[in-house]
C-alpha cells in the first residue's frame, strides 16, 4: 500500500482512538477525512494538521452522509482505507433489577446503532467504493479496520448492550473478510482494553485503579497512540485478515460493575 497515494475515512476521527489514528495516517502521508457528528471538532483537528486532512460532519448511520464523505475522501487520494472508531459513553442499566425494572429497549437500540449498525453502514459503502480501485501487487483494493472491545469477550455487569454491540463487531470481522475477499478487501478489528482517553480524565481514582488492577503487563492504561500503531501494522501486513486483535496488556477480567461506568 503506497500511503502517499491513498486516502482514508476515519469515523470518530477527532476522538481519542480516532484522533490518534488520524494523526498517524496523516504522518504516513495518507489523506484523511475526519468524520464526526460535530463539524467544529473535526475542523479543529483538520486545521491543526493542514494539508490533506479534511473535516466532515455527518451521521455514520446515514447512507447519504457516508456516501458524501466517501466522495470527499476520494478528492484526497485513492480511497482505500476505512477506520471506524466512533463511540461515546452511554449509561446502561442492568438487564433487570430486583424491583422488577427491565432494561430499556431504547437504550439497547441506541447502543447497537452507535457501535454496530453505524460501523457496518460505513464498511459496506466503503467496500463498495474500494471495488473500483486498481489492485496492488497482492490484488488488494482496500482495508477496513473496526473497533471492537474486550467487552465482546468479557462483558461486565450492566454492559449487556455494549458487549452485544462489540461482540457483533468481532463476529462481523471474519465473515466480512471472507465476504470481501473476491474484491480484494481486507477486514480486521481491534479490541481495546482500558485505554486512556479524555472521557476518563474526570473519573475517580478508585475507578481508574479498578480498571488497571487486572492488566498483566505493562501495568497501566493503554494509550491511543498504541491503537494507532496497531492500525498501521494492520495496513502494512497484507496477510493479516479477518482477525480481531486484543490490545489489552493480557487483561483478565473478573466480575465487576465498574466497566459500566466507562463504556469506551
- The CATH class given to the 3-93+101-262 domain equals alpha beta
Q: How confident is the model at residue 255 (pLDDT cuts 50, 70, 90)?
A: low
pLDDT digits (tens, 9 = 90+) for 196-238: 987 777 788 888 888 899 999 999 999 999 999 999 999 999 9
pLDDT digits (tens, 9 = 90+) for 27-69: 999 999 999 999 999 999 999 999 999 999 999 999 999 999 9
Q: Report, in angstroms and rounded to the nearest whole number, the Rg of the chain calculated over CA atoms.
A: 18
Ramachandran assignment for 100, one of left (phi > 0), alpha (psi -120 to 50 degrees), beta (any other) = left
pLDDT digits (tens, 9 = 90+) for 101-113: 999 999 999 999 9
* Domain boundaries, given as residue ranges, for the chain: 3-93+101-262
Cα three-residue angle 246-249-255, rounded to 5 degrees: 80
pLDDT digits (tens, 9 = 90+) for 128-157: 999 999 999 999 999 999 999 999 999 888
User: What residues act catalytically?
Assistant: 162
Residue 188 has pLDDT above 50, yes or no: yes
Q: How confident is the model at residue 14 (pLDDT cuts 50, 70, 90)?
A: very high
Distance CA 44, CA 26 (A): 15
Amino acid at each position: 500500500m503506497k500511503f502517499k497515494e491513498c486516502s482514508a475515512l476515519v469515523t470518530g476521527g477527532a476522538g481519542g482512538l480516532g484522533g490518534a489514528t488520524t494523526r498517524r495516517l496523516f504522518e504516513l502521508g495518507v489523506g484523511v477525512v475526519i468524520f464526526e457528528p460535530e463539524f467544529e471538532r473535526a475542523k479543529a483537528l483538520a486545521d491543526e494538521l493542514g494539508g490533506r486532512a479534511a473535516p466532515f460532519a455527518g451521521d455514520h448511520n446515514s447512507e447519504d452522509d457516508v456516501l458524501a464523505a466517501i466522495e470527499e475522501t476520494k478528492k484526497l487520494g485513492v480511497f482505500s482505507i476505512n477506520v471506524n472508531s466512533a463511540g461515546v459513553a452511554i449509561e446502561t442499566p442492568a438487564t433487570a433489577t430486583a424491583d422488577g425494572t427491565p432494561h430499556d429497549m431504547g437504550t439497547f437500540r441506541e447502543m447497537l446503532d452507535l457501535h454496530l449498525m453505524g460501523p457496518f453502514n460505513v464498511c459496506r459503502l466503503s467496500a463498495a467504493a474500494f471495488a473500483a480501485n486498481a489492485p496492488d501487487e497482492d490484488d488488494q483494493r482496500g482495508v477496513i479496520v473496526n473497533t471492537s472491545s474486550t467487552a465482546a469477550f468479557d462483558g461486565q455487569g450492566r454492559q449487556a448492550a455494549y458487549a452485544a454491540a462489540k461482540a457483533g463487531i468481532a463476529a462481523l470481522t471474519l465473515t466480512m473478510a471472507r465476504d470481501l475477499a473476491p474484491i480484494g478487501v481486507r477486514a480486521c478489528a481491534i479490541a481495546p482494553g482500558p485505554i486512556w482517553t479524555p472521557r476518563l480524565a474526570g473519573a475517580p481514582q478508585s475507578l481508574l485503579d479498578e480498571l488497571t488492577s487486572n492488566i498483566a503487563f505493562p501495568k497501566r492504561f493503554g494509550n491511543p497512540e498504541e491503537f494507532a500503531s496497531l492500525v498501521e501494522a494492520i495496513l502494512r501486513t497484507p496477510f493479516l485478515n479477518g482477525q480481531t486483535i486484543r490490545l489489552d496488556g493480557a487483561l483478565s477480567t473478573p466480575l465487576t460493575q465498574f466497566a459500566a461506568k466507562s463504556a469506551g
